[in-house]
Amino acid sequence: MQTYCVDKQVSDSAATATAYLTGVKGNYQTIGVSGKVQVVDCESAKLSANRASSIAKWAQDAGKATGVVTTARVTHASPAGVYAHVPYRGMESDGDNKNLELDLKSCNFDIAKQLVFEEPGKNLNVRNYGICRFF
């Protein structure tokens, strides 16, 4: 599998997650969108034609249970590749969007919102299978 991104040979985890979870190459620092979306281009990232469906969406459409296991925060670039579509990996929350000085009218969708309110994020299943103990 090749996970380099469209605009750079050495990728970051955002574009890499997009490649291995959707089969679509994106640009450096973008998540869940095609190479037609440039970094911080919110208008292009909103277009459904530029959004890549992940393996989680495919599984949900087939009636399967899906989830994310991560040691990083769930809005970080690698796990967000399962459910998010953003033009910049730093768009983890409303606060991040404000701190990045993004146009909040066009960039009003962040990774956390997509996890809670949009598919496939809102359909991810969470199960507690007990406590693991390491000795």
Distance (Å, whole) CA 75 – CA 82: 10
Q: What is the pLDDT of residue 130?
A: 54
Give the pLDDT confidence score for residue 134 in this predicted structure.
52
Query: What is the per-residue pLDDT for 96?
Result: 81
> Which token pair is 68?
């994310």
- Six-digit token pair at 8? 């750079």
Task: Name the residues annotated as catalytic.
Answer: 13
For the chain (length 135 residues), average pLDDT per consecutive 10? 87 96 97 97 95 98 94 94 96 83 80 96 77 52
Backbone φ, ψ for residue 33 (5° rounding) = -130, 160
| pLDDT on residue 49 | 98
Judged by DSSP in three states, 41 sits in coil
Give pLDDT, residue 46.
94
Q: Within 13 Å of residue 83, how many CA atoms lie on the same side as its CB?
A: 28
% helix, strand, coil for the chain, step of 5: 35, 5, 65
